Amino acid sequence: MGFTMGLNMLLLVAMVATNILSLYHLSSTLQSKTPTSQSVPDQLLRQLHTIRATINHLTRLQHTTTSTSVATSISTTSNPTFPSDLLLYSQLSPVASSCRNHPDLLHKYMSYTPFTLCPLDSDLAEALILRGCHPLPRRRCFSRTPPKPTSSLPQNPFPSSLPDSSVIWNKYTCKSFDCLKRFNPNLGFDPAHEITKFMSYKSELDLPIPQLLQIAKAANSVLRLGLDIGGGTGTFAARMKVYNVTVVTTTMNLAAPYNEAVALRGLVPLHVPLQQRFPMFDGVLDLVRCGHAVNRWIPLAMMEFLFYDVDRVLRGGGYLWLDHFFSKEVDLEKVYAPLIGKLGYKKVKWVTGKKTDTGGLKNGEVYLTALLQKPVSR
Ligand SMILES: *[C@@H]1O[C@H](CO)[C@@H](O)[C@H](O)[C@H]1NC(C)=O
């Protein structure tokens, strides 16, 4: 409490000082240019308003942080009216306010001892992130490191094994990468399996990377930078690295250390959920791949936001690759194909095929593999 007060005072003093400085600067420049200007009092008023608003904000903040329950302070705040698109966005997609929808989790996450080791609570962090609380608030504690990390990290993105000692295994049932591989060879932790991915053509639904590169080359389009959405252990990025293409991978740690695995392969893991706005600027990527994670389980409105955000980050002439997107057959025709069609992309490849595993047969699902090219200019 005393500490918070002190910090607030410090912030206040710093803020007032900056404002006075800028006021001084403002008035001196104004004086030198237009000595009779009427705008000086206006500027002064605006500055004072800012200072007052900030003081009010700080005071309110202090009431919130010192109340015993975060929940009570939240439930008493009135709901201003929002534009409907923003409302939708804040439900499906993270804005900072989504954190407030889970006061119990947030409260737990922020209950730690400052300046010491952080609690082992990466599960809690991910639970909040998946509920749209992203970015998470910062904390002032030291994240834990594995007890005996190895210094010999692989240079090759396809190492024969990953160092177990570079992961904190506490929250997982498995305590080694080998265990994960034995548990399920399809999770992405079996090096022998991963090295074969994206290279062979077993059905029309496959798009081997050499073919992808050929297509781009034939269209006079260079592939240098890409994003793999929901890319698991980063095998697509690993393969593309061999072809000198830089791909970053969004991945979550759902029941296994996917982020660590990507990083241990010398690739960039982005710990962002599917509903997060991509942390890239507009029109900068040559390629976006949506793997298995992007499928009919995503609420439709959210998927629309996702595709439009993909469009945002792709450059003109860039490629969107839907790799084994699955949905019910009837929905593909009536819902997803029209949704994808709205983007106005050129269909370089568009192949559908029955999903023949148990779930696929039960639900009448199909796969779609599509390579789509964004218009060169809009
Ligand atoms: C990737 O770059 C390296 C170094 O410039 C080069 O030796 C290699 O041939 C390139 N690989 C491919 C597949 O282009």
Nearest CA to ligand 1 atom 11: 243
Nearest CA to ligand 1 atom 6: 244
Evaluate whether residue 49 is within a structural domain: no
pLDDT confidence of residue 42: 60
d(CA 101, CA 273): 17
Whether 39 shows a pLDDT value over 70: the answer reads: no
Instruction: Give tens-digit pLDDT for 56-84.
Output: 554 454 444 433 333 333 333 444 455 55
Task: Select from 124, 144, 164 the last residue of a domain.
Answer: 144
Q: Are 312 and 347 in contact (CB under 8 A)?
A: no
Q: How far is the CA of 244 from the centre of ligand 1 (A)?
A: 6
Say yes or no: 96 and 224 in one domain: no
Q: How far is the CA of 239 from the centre of ligand 1 (A)?
A: 13
Q: How far is the CA of 230 from the centre of ligand 1 (A)?
A: 27
Say yes or no: 99 and 223 in one domain: no
Say yes or no: 210 and 307 in one domain: yes
Say yes or no: 222 and 336 in one domain: yes
Say yes or no: 220 and 341 in one domain: yes
Say yes or no: 134 and 210 in one domain: no
For ligand 1, mutation pick of 155, 244, 246 (most atoms within 8 Å of CB): 244
β-pairing, 365-373 vs 346-354, is: antiparallel
24-52: burial string, b at 16+ Cβ within 10 Å, e else: eebeeeeeeeeeeeeebeeeeeeeeeebe
Could you tell me the two tokens for 209?
Answer: 């990377």
Q: How far is the CA of 261 from the centre of ligand 1 (A)?
A: 24
d(CA 256, CA 119): 19
Evaluate whether residue 184 is within a structural domain: no
Evaluate whether residue 355 is within a structural domain: yes
Say yes or no: 216 and 122 in one domain: no
Nearest CA to ligand 1 atom 2: 244
Say yes or no: 219 and 311 in one domain: yes
Q: How far is the CA of 205 from the centre of ligand 1 (A)?
A: 28
pLDDT confidence of residue 216: 97
Nearest CA to ligand 1 atom 3: 244
State the CATH number of the domain containing residue 327: 3.40.50.150
Best CA proximity match to 134, nearest among 162, 104, 106: 106
Instruction: Give tens-digit pLDDT for 208-229.
Output: 999 999 999 999 999 999 999 9
Q: How far is the CA of 227 from the centre of ligand 1 (A)?
A: 20
Instruction: Give tens-digit pLDDT for 8-37.
Output: 544 444 444 444 444 333 333 333 343 344
Evaluate whether residue 59 is within a structural domain: no
Q: From the CA of 242, give the closest atom in ligand 1.
A: 13
User: Within 6 Å (CB) of ligand 1, which residues are found?
Assistant: 243-244
Q: Which domain holds residue 112?
A: 92-144
Lowest mean pLDDT among 106-115, 160-169, 305-314, 342-351: 106-115
Nearest CA to ligand 1 atom 14: 243
Say yes or no: 100 and 226 in one domain: no
Nearest CA to ligand 1 atom 7: 244
Nearest CA to ligand 1 atom 5: 244
Q: From the CA of 243, give the closest atom in ligand 1.
A: 13
Nearest CA to ligand 1 atom 13: 243
Say yes or no: 281 and 133 in one domain: no
pLDDT confidence of residue 32: 39
Evaluate whether residue 4 is within a structural domain: no
Evaluate whether residue 317 is within a structural domain: yes
What percentage of the chain has pLDDT greater than the value 70? Answer: 74
Instruction: Give tens-digit pLDDT for 123-180.
Output: 999 999 999 888 888 888 999 999 998 889 999 999 999 999 999 999 999 999 999 9
Evaluate whether residue 318 is within a structural domain: yes
Q: How far is the CA of 223 from the centre of ligand 1 (A)?
A: 14
Q: How far is the CA of 155 from the centre of ligand 1 (A)?
A: 15
Other beta carbons less than 10 A from residue 283's beta carbon: 13
Q: How far is the CA of 243 from the centre of ligand 1 (A)?
A: 7
Evaluate whether residue 222 is within a structural domain: yes
d(CA 101, CA 124): 15
How many structural domains are present in the chain?
2
